[in-house]
Amino acid sequence: MMKVALVVLLMDVVIAFLAAIDGVVVVVLWGWFAVPLGLPTIGVAHAVGISVLVALVVAAPVPKSAEDDDEWEEIYRLVRISLYRALLALAVGYGAHLAMG
């Protein structure tokens, strides 16, 4: 029972960490692209809310790995994918921001 509680607690911490990362990325992108159009700046809490809303609307399934990984490997893989997506969005956004002048 203790192991299950530890896994659940760890997953909660990981989800909160990834949501915060997504929130920071949304804040930066919002500042680059929405604020110049006259929209107000937003904080991380609003950005996390927007990120969650978008994820609910356009939820794309994350493909499962081909191997039968254990739970920890699967968690690690999902964290890697989430961080990669956030960094890729920031990099593409930065390129577009530079191209805007």
Residue that is written with structure tokens 């990325």 in the block? 25
pLDDT tens digits, 17-66: 999 999 999 999 999 999 999 999 999 999 999 998 888 888 766 666 66
Q: Is the dihedral of CA 56, 62, 88, 45 positive or negative?
A: positive
Which pTM does this prediction carry? 0.80
Mutual angle of helices 2-33 and 44-57, in 10-degree steps: 100
pLDDT above 70 as % of the chain: 89
Collapsed DSSP state (helix, strand, coil) of residue 57 = helix
What pLDDT does residue 75 have?
Answer: 79
Asked whether 30 and 42 are in contact (CB, 8 A), the reply is yes
Structure token pair of residue 58: 């356009």
Domain ranges of the chain: 2-99
Rg, C-alpha atoms of the chain? 16
Q: What is the DSSP string of 70-92?
A: -HHHHHHHHHHHHHHHHHHHHHH
